[in-house]
Amino acid sequence: MNIPKQPACKHFGFMLLVSTVLLNTGCRQLGQHQQTDFLKPFATASSPLSGRNLGTMPSDHTLCVETAKTVAAEGHADEAIKLYLRAEKIDPKAASVDAQLAPLYASVGNYPAAIERYQRCVKQSPSDIELCNNFAWTLMEAGHHELAIAEATRGLNQAGDHARLQATLAMIHYRQGNHDKAFQSFETAQGSTAAHHNLSLLDIDAGNLESAREHLRAANQSGEHNSQSQILLTAFEAQTTGN
């Protein structure tokens, strides 16, 4: 399951020079397809439907599920959701599609539906750390910070060295306004220099420019070399000095 990207910096043109994004946080969003003449595919070359004997027609349920997978891969979340829901109605006793619907609902901003599907998934697979990570991220996006922290903590109690989940916990703390805990979680996940660098990017995006400057300076004064932090600090200083 994939997770949403962080928003781009709104404040400085020089950020275009920086390719660094927060390391391994959350779930990456489904890409948005740009074609206007969208035609729902029946099956792809890699689909289980292709290569079937023409005399053996797949069930309507199978057609819906396989087409939904193809549609989702093309970035058409709304259409994929409709197809998965149709498949559920056709055969309510078939294998669950909760794991497919949860991130799709999250990608279109239907967080109540996404949370309900994630809860079912977690109940079935409580030890799946990637699932825990994605659920925590969705809870954060929905504004349920305490629930998100609880879910991330539950996962870390099972896999304390899981860097992605630690970084997700850092993001939740930052969104909640607890920047000290955000730094601690980023530091656990990625080290002190990366923690300062990540917080500088978040601060810039939030408009906390003085805090961003301090984090960049701290990143560059640490013993770990980070060329991206050096480039960003130079551009930051030049931009703010020129204003």
* Predicted confidence band of residue 243 (pLDDT cuts 50, 70, 90): low
Least confident of 56-70, 100-114, 218-232: 218-232
Q: Residue 45 half-sphere exposure, CB side, CA atoms within 13 Å?
A: 0
pLDDT digits (tens, 9 = 90+) for 180-200: 999 999 999 999 999 999 999
Q: Determine the pLDDT at residue 150.
A: 98
Q: What is the pTM of this model?
A: 0.75
Q: Flag whether pLDDT at 33 surpasses 60.
A: no
Tokens linked to 203: 């601060």
Burial class (CB in 10 A: 0-12, 13-18, 19+), 161: exposed
Instruction: Tell me how far apart the alpha carbons of residues 38 and 67 are, in angstroms, rounded to a whole number.
Output: 13
* DSSP letter for each residue of 35-72: -SS----S--TTSTTTT--TTSPPPHHHHHHHHHHHHH
Q: Flag whether pLDDT at 230 surpasses 80.
A: no
Give the helix, strand, coil percentages of the chain, each rounded to 5: 65, 0, 35
pLDDT digits (tens, 9 = 90+) for 77-117: 999 999 999 999 999 999 999 999 999 999 999 999 999 99
